[in-house]
Amino acid sequence: MAGPFTVACIQNCAEDDVAHNIAQAARMVRQAAARGAELICLPENFTCLEESDALYLQRGYGESDHPALSVFPALARELNVVLALGSLTIRLPGGKVHNRSYVIAADGTVIATYNKIHLFDVQLRQGEMYRESTTVEPGTQRTIAALPWGRLGMSVCYDVRFPHLYRALAQAGADFLAVPAAFTATTGEAHWHVLLRARAIENGCYVFAAGQCGKRRWGRRTYGHSLIIDPWGAVLADAGSEPGFVLASVDPAKVTEARAMIPSLQHDRPLG
């Protein structure tokens, strides 16, 4: 089994200036690498949050021309780090987009992608409404990325409310769970820490949850509090509410230890 390694979660406040957001994220990646991070995780939609869903279709990029997919593979190669790009909005030929996460190896190769399965269609208090399905085509397949230290189960934001996805990832061999997000401030204050700690505890996995923070000029607020959580549910790092990053040492042996003490993955029973 691989020994301990250092993980970073980047936290930004993306608006609708893609070039600015990429430059800001790349700067923080460099800073995290300089502090010893070997796996660096970024939030959902870290290159752009638009004021309306329709703008993702009007101003979005296909996979072949998305500027992040030239910048960050080169950066991974230069810094010799693994990057988990929380998600990019990728325009599809059929008129919608995928909310797509990428894992990039230290040689700059894209080794895994995941399309967000569960879409954020909710009506919150005081008229706060989201309809992700109007523009996003949901994914249909779970994804696990093979890292030098173990296996990373991939997910995005609203997926965290669907524990069967994470159970399937853990049963398929995931040691770590990535949950990049742009969680709303409303739901984050109520549910973020609880849901993420639960996913770690019930599966005996580390959780790496890079989130967006801050308030946009059109009023949208995201919760921040990027978290690194160990398999026993302890919060190893919390980024708070401002842009920046957090680091933590991750020991894959702790996954084996937690699962040996509470072997719930071996106790699953099919329901009729």
Of all residues in the chain, what percent carry a pLDDT higher than 90?
A: 89
Query: Which pLDDT tens digit goes with each residue over 12-24?
Result: 999 999 999 999 9
In a domain, 145, yes or no: yes
Does the structure show a pLDDT above 90 at 125?
A: no
Domain span including residue 99: 5-261
Q: Domain for residue 270, yes or no? A: no
Catalytic residue of the set 48, 157, 205, 213: 157
Instruction: State the pLDDT confidence band at 2, using cuts at 50, 70 and 90.
Output: confident
CATH number of the domain where residue 114 is located: 3.60.110.10
Domain assignment present for residue 148? The answer is yes
Q: What pLDDT, in 10s, does the model give residues 171-195?
A: 999 999 999 999 999 999 999 999 9
116 catalytic residue (yes or no): yes
Residue 44 among the catalytic residues? yes
Burial class (CB in 10 A: 0-12, 13-18, 19+), 192: buried
The whole-chain average pLDDT of the chain stands at: 96
Give the per-residue pLDDT at 32: 98
Out of 15, 38, 44, 50, pick the active-site residue: 44
In this structure, is residue 31 part of a structural domain? yes
Residue 1: pLDDT above 70? no
Question: What pTM did the predictor assign?
Answer: 0.97
Q: Does residue 245 fall inside a structural domain?
A: yes
Q: Which whole number is the average pLDDT over 160-174?
A: 98
Residue 101: which pLDDT band, with cuts at 50, 70 and 90? very high
Location of structure tokens 């093979």: 146
Number of structural domains, the chain?
Answer: 1
Whether the Cβ atoms of residue 77 and residue 111 lie closer than 8 Å to each other = no
Which residue, chain included where needed, has tokens 């159970």?
167
35-94 confidence digits (pLDDT tens): 999 999 999 999 999 988 888 888 889 999 999 999 999 999 999 999 999 999 999 998
Task: State the pLDDT at residue 95.
Answer: 87
Mean pLDDT of 94-121: 96
Catalytic residue among 38, 116, 132, 213: 116
Report the chain's terminal Cα–Cα distance, integer Å.
37
Q: Is the pLDDT of residue 127 over 80?
A: no
